[in-house]
Amino acid sequence: KQRKAIDLNLKMKIIKAYEAGKKVTKIAREVGLAHSTISTILKDKARIREALKGAAGMNTSITRQRKGLIHEMEKLLILWIEDQIQKRLPMNLLLIQNKARSIFSTLKERAGEECTETFTASRGWFMRFQLRFHYQKTHRLGKADREADRQFQNELDNVVAEGNYFAEQIFRVDETGLYWKRMPERTYIHKEAQAMPGCKAFKDRVTLLLGGNVAGFKLTPFLILKSDHACMFENINNDTLPVYHRFDCKAWMTHILFEDWFTNCFIPQVKEYCWQEGITFKILLLLDKAPGHPLHLDSLHPNIKVVYLPQNTTTLSQQMGQGVISAFKAYYLHAVFSKALATMIDEKVTLSEFWKSYNILHCIENIVAAWQDINVKCMQGFWRKCLKCFPLLVNSSLGLDQNENVDEVNKKILTLAKFLDLEVDAKEVKKWIAYAEGELSNEELIELKEELEAQKVVEEEVEKEKEKEKEKEKERKKERKREREK
């Protein structure tokens, strides 16, 4: 008899139904499973929750506990695959097999000579890997699935219609890495930085979360900075900064940081915005299924519905990057060049001297300036491709070239480059704007996994405290009831 695999989503649905007060017999009848199966799932709820957090968007099934280097390798491989998808980097069977072998070799080297486990990344292993993670469309990764795009558009339109959402209530956010102290490659500033010990200029990276709504309103940028920048903010009142910011040792977006942004930045800002616009505080938020995006956001606030872009809707997920983010990066480089020229004239310094003194606080000023320069039409470009239920928006955007803003800014950048005596051409500027981060190394994957596991420990402790508080409240209610009965 073939064993039936039950995916994590169904298991979590069963756990939530039980915790909401439903009886096991009723749940078993509703989902068509045996009473004993439901009981086993409920006993295993801690591990299921842990697997869900580690799955980061995968439709995973748990069938048995797996151990060893191959199991550890597969967990790292899943992170790598999702990171590749998020960065829109190409993938195929051969690339996945090679990465699997590479990760396994790194893990085996770390394990020492006593480790005798072997791994070949055969086609048979790959087929089993797909089945374990219900990941059947790997052969299509890197290609736009137009049918999936159309299907998602129809589903999204239905969600908007059923929820009766206004354009002002529908938001989308996306992340990008910004190498804030990286000059176009052919400039002498770039070459000087590359020659420096440690080449630190190329490691100065921040993660930016940018977004807005269908009406063109822009959210305050959210920055994740490397922890070693924290000393720059010691004497600064965070309330005076025009951005939200947090610190992480790798400047990565993590579940904890994203939930922090969602709870403490996004919700207060959109609530205030709805009040100012005189509309109901009811929000629809679109997100990519990325490793740093928690899947439980929908349950954090009753007035906010979160919809995740399917991982195979490549065309839709690229629109934000091709339009808003590309324009933002062009405006950022323009702001840097403008600031450099003004400083050189006012303070009589060289470009090299300006660049050496350019720090993260200057970067934030230019990020804000660049974000302010993004206009409403550019913000609405993504929605023209994504939503069909706002005909006025679609009509007003007809003929809008997503690259028009970028091309105009590029011309201004080239003019400033001449004043700065930088040998930069249009091709070089476009390359800087479109600079794509490479794939995560094996070491970075291991660090990311360790960081995610540390998050799980923290989240589990918080969950335990909540459970304890619930139990205490139950005891208090019983005590009050006994007092009344006396």
DSSP characters over 374-423:
--HHHHHHHHHHH-SS-HHHHHHHTT--TTHHHHHHHHHHHHHHHHTT--
| CA 98 – CA 100 distance, rounded (Å) | 5
For residues 292 and 253, the answer to whether their CB atoms sit within 8 Å is yes
pLDDT of res. 427? 80
Q: Say what the pTM is.
A: 0.66
- Residue 256 · residue 462 · CB < 8 Å: no
Residue-level pLDDT at 192: 54
Describe the chain by its helix, strand, coil percentages, rounded to 5.
60, 10, 30
State the pLDDT at residue 324.
Answer: 85
Q: How many CB atoms lie within 10 A of CB 274?
A: 18
Report the 3 state secondary structure along 352-380: HHHHHHCCHHHHHHHHHHHHHHCCHHHHH
- Report residue 324 as tokens: 């808003």
Q: How far is residue 216 from each of residues 274, 364, 377, 383, 483, measured CA to CA in Å?
A: 14, 22, 7, 10, 58
pLDDT at 116: 85
What are the residue ranges of helices labelled H in 164-206? 188-195
pLDDT for position 447 = 75
Q: Which residues contact 99 (CB under 8 A, 6 or more apart)?
A: 77, 80, 439
- Residue 444 is classified by DSSP as H
Q: 335, exposed or middle or buried, with CB in 10 Å at 0-12, 13-18, 19+?
A: buried
Alpha carbon of residue 335 to chain centroid:
26
The beta strands (E) that lie in 180-227 are given as: 205-213, 222-226
Query: For position 52, what pLDDT does the model report?
Result: 64
| pLDDT value of position 397 | 46
Query: What local confidence, expressed as pLDDT, does residue 198 receive?
Result: 42
pLDDT at 58 (0 to 100): 45
Phi, psi (rounded to 5 degrees) for 296: -105, 15
Comparing CA positions, the residue from 162, 461, 211 lying closest to residue 320 is 211
Structure tokens at 61: 């099934």
Give pLDDT tens digits for 11-53.
888 888 887 778 888 888 888 888 778 888 888 887 777 666 5
Backbone angles phi, psi at 20, to 5 degrees: -80, -5
pLDDT of residue 218: 95
Segments of the chain with pLDDT less than 50: 1-3, 55-59, 62-63, 138-144, 194-202, 394, 396-400
Scan for tokens 């920055």, then name that residue. Answer: 223
- 304-309 β-sheet, strand order: 244-248, 222-226, 205-213, 170-179, 283-288, 304-309
Contact 119, 104 (CB under 8 A): yes
pLDDT of amino acid 87: 63
From start to end of 230-333, where are the E strands? Answer: 244-248, 283-288, 304-309
Query: CB neighbours (10 Å) of residue 46?
Result: 10
What pLDDT, on the 0 to 100 scale, is given for residue 226? Answer: 85
